[in-house]
């Protein structure tokens, strides 16, 4: 059984999608009560971020194995299930390079754009313009790759690279990124959001997190959402808007 430390954000959904079909249980990470800073969580995720997993059945009588960083978790799950990561070297590295592109580029840049565009207490045009331009550039790169393959990021096969990128493209509407300008991204996004595992993964534990702004006090709330340790995901959490993969309306 895999224990999945989860909150409903793009980085959480990547792993939720990949876990579909595997035996797992969810341990919710409530940012509003500081679960990510608790010592027992820091033992498995020293960067105080979700997602993280513990595989209690790591195989061959091995001790439970924990993994943090969503990209590493996706590779771990793909190796375990022998799905979504091609075995041939070319396909494997085609997948891994686009996964790394998401982890180092699309996620952080779209995340920063979401932060400055949607949630920052003051609107800073320089920051908004910088991250918007970079996010748009990355959409263009994604579009060109999807045009080249005609199907998925790594070719004809759906892989963990697609799972990693999809939840970030879900943010396009809230971030007013004109997806119409990226027809291959739109085609790919439309196909992926109809996949049952994607629908289930991106809807995981909606009810559990429905009321997630219940901070003990306004002071606690402000301390958590203060600039010093504020991530855009946590602000999305705070905003508690409905998450709906079917219309691409989601925050990040």
- Judged by beta carbon, residue 96 or residue 186, the one nearer ligand GSH is 96
| Residue 88 Cβ vs ligand GSH, minimum distance, rounded to whole Å | 26
- Judged by beta carbon, residue 51 or residue 201, the one nearer ligand GSH is 51
Binding footprint of ligand GSH on the chain (CB under 6 A): 9, 11, 31, 36, 48-51, 69-70, 229, 231, 233-234
Give the angle 7-4-31 at the CA atoms, nearest 5°.
30
Strands 24-28 and 52-55, bridge-based pairing: unpaired
- Judged by beta carbon, residue 36 or residue 171, the one nearer ligand GSH is 36
Q: Residue 235: name the closest of 24, 5, 31 by CA.
A: 31
| Residue 252 Cβ vs ligand GSH, minimum distance, rounded to whole Å | 7
- Judged by beta carbon, residue 31 or residue 188, the one nearer ligand GSH is 31
Residues 6+ positions from 236 with CB-CB distance below 8 Å: 9, 114, 119, 250, 251, 252
| Residue 50 Cβ vs ligand GSH, minimum distance, rounded to whole Å | 4
| Residue 61 Cβ vs ligand GSH, minimum distance, rounded to whole Å | 29
Query: What is the rounded distance in angstroms from the CA atom of residue 206 to the CA atom of residue 8?
Result: 7
Spell out a b/e string for 41-69, using b for 16 or more CB atoms within 10 Å of the CB, else e: beebbeebbbbbbbbeeeeeeeeebbbbb
- Judged by beta carbon, residue 36 or residue 202, the one nearer ligand GSH is 36
- Nearest to ligand GSH by Cβ — which residue? 233
| Residue 205 Cβ vs ligand GSH, minimum distance, rounded to whole Å | 14
- Judged by beta carbon, residue 50 or residue 204, the one nearer ligand GSH is 50
Strands 52-55 and 65-68, bridge-based pairing: antiparallel
| Residue 148 Cβ vs ligand GSH, minimum distance, rounded to whole Å | 26
Residues 6+ positions from 111 with CB-CB distance below 8 Å: 10, 168, 231, 232, 233, 252
Name the strands in the sheet holding 2-6, side by side, starting at the edge strand that comes first in the sequence. 24-28, 2-6, 52-55, 65-68
């Amino acid at each position: 059984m895999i224990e999945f430390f989860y909150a409903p954000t793009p980085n959480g959904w990547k792993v939720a999608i990949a876990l579909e079909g595997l035996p797992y249980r969810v341990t919710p990470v409530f940012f509003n009560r500081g679960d990510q800073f608790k010592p027992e969580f820091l033992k498995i995720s020293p960067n105080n971020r979700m997602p993280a997993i513990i595989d209690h059945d790591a195989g061959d009588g091995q001790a439970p194995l924990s993994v943090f960083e969503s990209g590493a978790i996706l590779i771990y799950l793909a190796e375990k299930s022998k799905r979504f990561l091609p075995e041939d070297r070319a396909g494997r590295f085609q997948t891994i390079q686009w996964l790394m592109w998401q982890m180092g580029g699309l996620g952080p840049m779209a995340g920063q754009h979401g932060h400055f565009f949607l949630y920052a207490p003051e609107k800073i045009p320089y920051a908004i313009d910088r991250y918007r331009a970079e996010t748009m550039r990355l959409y263009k790169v994604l579009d060109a790759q999807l045009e080249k393959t005609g199907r998925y990021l790594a070719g004809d096969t759906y892989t963990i690279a697609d799972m990693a990128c999809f939840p970030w493209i879900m943010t396009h509407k809230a971030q007013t990124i004109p997806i119409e300008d990226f027809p291959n991204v739109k085609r790919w996004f439309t196909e992926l959001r109809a996949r049952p595992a994607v629908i289930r993964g991106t809807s995981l534990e909606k009810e559990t997190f429905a009321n997630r702004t219940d901070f003990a006090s306004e002071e606690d709330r402000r301390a958590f959402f203060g600039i010093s340790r504020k991530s855009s995901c946590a602000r999305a959490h705070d905003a508690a808007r409905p998450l709906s993969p079917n219309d691409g309306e989601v925050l990040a």
